[in-house]
Amino acid sequence: MASHDESHDHDHHHKVTFWNKYVFSEDHKMISKQFLVTGMVMGVIGVTMSLLFRLQLAWPEKSWPILETLLGKWGADGVMTPDIYLALVTIHGTIMVFFVLTAGLSGTFSNLLIPLQIGARDMASGFLNMLSYWFFFLSSVVMVMSLFVESGPASAGWTIYPPLSALPQAMPGSGMGMTLWLVSMAIFIISSLLGSLNYIVTVLNLRTKGMSMTRLPLTIWAFFVTAILGVLSFPVLFSAALLLIFDRSFGTSFYLSDIMVSGELLSNAGGSPILFQHLFWFLGHPEVYIIILPAFGITSEVISTNARKPIFGYRAMVGSIMAIAILSFIVWGHHMFMTGMNPFLGSVFTFTTLLIAIPSAVKAFNYITTLWKGNLRLTPAMLFSIGLVSTFITGGLTGLILGDSALDINVHDTYFVVAHFHIVMGLSAIFGMFAGVYHWFPRMYGRRMIKSLGYMHFWITFVCAYGVFFPMHFMGMAGLPRRYYTNTSFPMFDDMADINVLISVFAIVGGIAQVLFLFNFFYSAVRGRKSEQNPWKSNTLEWTAPVEHLHGNWPGELPTVHRWPYDYSKPGMEEDYVPQNVPIKEGEVETGH
């Protein structure tokens, strides 16, 4: 372990200018803010798209002038076309999964917290870190640009299964829009790899004196394992995308065989569209954990701090993170039960998939037990964390249904799946992200967010979130497929009209309520009340650094760690918290590991 406390002269050896402070910054704290704000901008785009297609689903025969304003020729007379509907779902999914919940979440909090919580001056490589952000920025720009191409953005679903995504003849979105999607994702993957490698190296090498792996806060464990998952799985998506680019542009047949599309017989032979799905989900499943693990990390920290109680079962928590990570590499086939795969293979994937429920259950129980006999300080961050536990339980339970191949026959690709993954991943991770922002805002901006707006934001969001996604289970059980432009072509589904309206109303109210958050965020960043150094009376090292941001984080020497991060309400101590850098008192028994 490098103690890394050689006199740090970062402050002196180059001039601080606007450009290297705010734009091409190599400081992890600034990069973290850049990730967050970019993620928020992408989030606004992604959420707005979902509100547009909810308009279509709830009121398919109504005309909305706003659609014409926003969508132009695809919203002529205020009614969106089926093509743009699919484009909106596709880009919505892509943006939320990759840009908001992967880069926005991991990028923000891994960057902010890894150096600060392990007691390092900065990331192992500030330069690569900066590149990671700028690649992310570039890929966001390309993705947004793809919205404006003549033939429309990518429309084959965020999973972009070929041949649909490979053939411009099959849908307009598979033309230029798809090319830009692939380019954007390729750049995104580079960004993610640069970031992840940096996180891994930093955690392994730059921990301060006394910060053994078993004294790491659970946030760091989560970010660390997430980074490993990313490094191992994103390259596979990269190859999948590369082969797809070849099929699209250079006449290869990795994924194509025996196809006649819009009257034209293609010469491709010998490829398999299913190969793409294997490659995609080899990333795709770990990806869902890349999204949720950082949210878990944040939640662990927020719940423990605000319950004024050690996180229950630290070792089990670390163990379950690792178990989830390992298992997540051998379950991808559960997205493909209906592809005609050998039923025996399906059985194997059912087996491994249901195993994941065990470490997941352990996590849920441990969170609940952490609350037990705590002294809960119900900050907005705490409420969002508890909300996460609730949605994770709800969504995880339906995973047991979907993971069972026999049951998946009837609900695969229906709204049941939409309900499942939005609740377990979408909502949980977004709640984790909000919890993180509310909790670490004082650390990021030196100011406090407005509490009452935070409460309002939580309540509207929480109620609307369940209101949007819970009813979808029933629609799926009634057999309604996902990715349908409207369900009015089937009289069988006419009795869902009311539910669709209900869902859309919740979606619109919940979506607009995010203005409360955005306002609170930007207002507080500029004019919020100044925060003290450790406003939550927390144990972790980031609160031992001064409020103002220093390049190098701590003036003078790096803190030395003497204990685990969860000594809250420890008997025999004066305060109900003991920061990690406080030496063990005489006669005190060290706990935690």
Helices 108-118 and 273-307 pack at an angle, to 10 degrees, of 50
Say how far apart CA 415 and CA 417 lie, in whole Å. 5
For residue 492, the minimal CB distance to other proteins (Å) is: 6
Q: For Cα atoms 516, 521, 525, give the angle at the middle one, nearest 5 degrees.
A: 150
Q: Does position 412 bind Cu ion by CB under 5 A?
A: no
Q: Contact letters (x/-) for ligand HEM, 354-393, by CB under 6 A?
A: --xx--x---------------------------------
Query: Is residue 210 within 8 Å of residue 579, measured between CB atoms?
Result: no
Judged by CB under 8 A, which stretch of 38-46, 280-288, 306-314, 541-549 contacts other proteins?
Answer: 306-314
Q: Does position 292 bind ligand HEM by CB under 6 A?
A: yes
Q: Does position 418 bind other proteins by CB under 8 A?
A: no
Range 274-293, binding Cu ion (CB under 5 A): 285
For residue 250, the minimal CB distance to Cu ion (Å) is: 28
Query: Is residue 227 within 8 Å of residue 199, measured between CB atoms?
Result: yes
Range 484-543, binding ligand HEM (CB under 6 A): none
Q: Does position 420 bind Cu ion by CB under 5 A?
A: no
For residue 225, the minimal CB distance to other proteins (Å) is: 19
Q: Which does 402 bind (CB under 5 to 8 A by kind): ligand HEM, other proteins, Cu ion, none?
A: ligand HEM
Count CA atoms closer than 13 A to 117's CA, side-chain side: 30
Q: Name the residue with tokens 């952000």.
A: 133
Report the relative pairing of strands 260-261 and 264-265 from DSSP bridges: antiparallel
- The only residue of 104, 119, 271, 284 in contact with other proteins, by rule CB under 8 A: 271
Q: For Cα atoms 185, 420, 429, give the angle at the middle one, nearest 5 degrees.
A: 55
Range 332-351, binding other proteins (CB under 8 A): 338-340, 343, 346-347, 350-351
Q: Which does 364 bind (CB under 5 to 8 A by kind): other proteins, ligand HEM, Cu ion, none?
A: other proteins
Give 447's strand partners: 530
Nearest to ligand HEM of 74, 282 (CB atom): 282
| Tokens encoding 588 | 């005190």
Name the amino acid, one letter, at 383. Answer: L
For 122-134, b where at least 16 C-beta lie within 10 A, e where not — what string? Answer: bbbbbebbbbbbb
Q: Which does 562 bind (CB under 5 to 8 A by kind): other proteins, Cu ion, ligand HEM, none?
A: none
Say how far apart CA 298 and CA 293 lie, in whole Å. 9
Given CA atoms 153, 154, 156, 159 in this order, what sign does their dihedral have?
negative
Q: Does position 81 bind other proteins by CB under 8 A?
A: yes
Nearest to other proteins of 72, 555 (CB atom): 72
Q: Which does 533 bind (CB under 5 to 8 A by kind): Cu ion, ligand HEM, other proteins, none?
A: none
Range 122-161, binding ligand HEM (CB under 6 A): 159
Q: Which does 486 bind (CB under 5 to 8 A by kind): ligand HEM, Cu ion, other proteins, none?
A: other proteins
Nearest to Cu ion of 216, 324 (CB atom): 324
| Tokens encoding 432 | 């984790």
- The only residue of 1, 330, 456, 463 in contact with other proteins, by rule CB under 8 A: 463
- The only residue of 50, 110, 208, 379 in contact with other proteins, by rule CB under 8 A: 379
| Tokens encoding 327 | 């298992």
Q: Name every residue whose Cβ is closer than 8 Å to that of residue 214 and which is 6 or more positions away in sequence.
A: 564, 592, 593
Q: What is the DSSP string of 507-567?
A: HHHHHHHHHHHHHHHHHHHHHSPBP-S-TT---SGGGGS-SS--TTSSSSSPP---S-TT-
- The only residue of 288, 502, 505, 573 in contact with ligand HEM, by rule CB under 6 A: 288
For residue 548, the minimal CB distance to other proteins (Å) is: 18
Range 299-338, binding ligand HEM (CB under 6 A): 334-335
Say how far apart CA 143 and CA 153 lie, in whole Å. 9
Query: Is residue 5 within 8 Å of residue 547, measured between CB atoms?
Result: no
Range 392-431, binding ligand HEM (CB under 6 A): 396, 399-400, 402-403, 408, 412-413, 417, 420-421, 424-425
For residue 476, the minimal CB distance to ligand HEM (Å) is: 10
For residue 273, the minimal CB distance to other proteins (Å) is: 6
Nearest to ligand HEM of 215, 412 (CB atom): 412
Query: Is residue 448 within 8 Å of residue 469, measured between CB atoms?
Result: no
Nearest to ligand HEM of 121, 420 (CB atom): 420
What are the CA-CA distances from residue 245 to residues 167, 180, 181, 412 (Å)?
A: 11, 11, 11, 28
**Residues constituting the chain:** 593
Q: Which does 164 bind (CB under 5 to 8 A by kind): Cu ion, other proteins, ligand HEM, none?
A: other proteins
Give 261's strand partners: 264
For residue 360, the minimal CB distance to ligand HEM (Å) is: 5
- How many chain residues touch other proteins (CB under 8 A)? 130
Q: Nearest Cα to 234, choosing from 300, 147, 165, 136?
A: 136
Query: Is residue 438 within 8 Å of residue 473, measured between CB atoms?
Result: no
Q: Does position 210 bind other proteins by CB under 8 A?
A: no
Q: Does position 404 bind other proteins by CB under 8 A?
A: yes
Judged by CB under 8 A, which stretch of 102-110, 185-193, 491-499, 547-555 contacts other proteins?
Answer: 491-499
**Under the rule (CB under 6 A), what is the footprint of ligand HEM?**
159, 288, 291-292, 334-335, 353, 356-357, 360, 396, 399-400, 402-403, 408, 412-413, 417, 420-421, 424-425
**Under the rule (CB under 5 A), what is the footprint of Cu ion?**
285
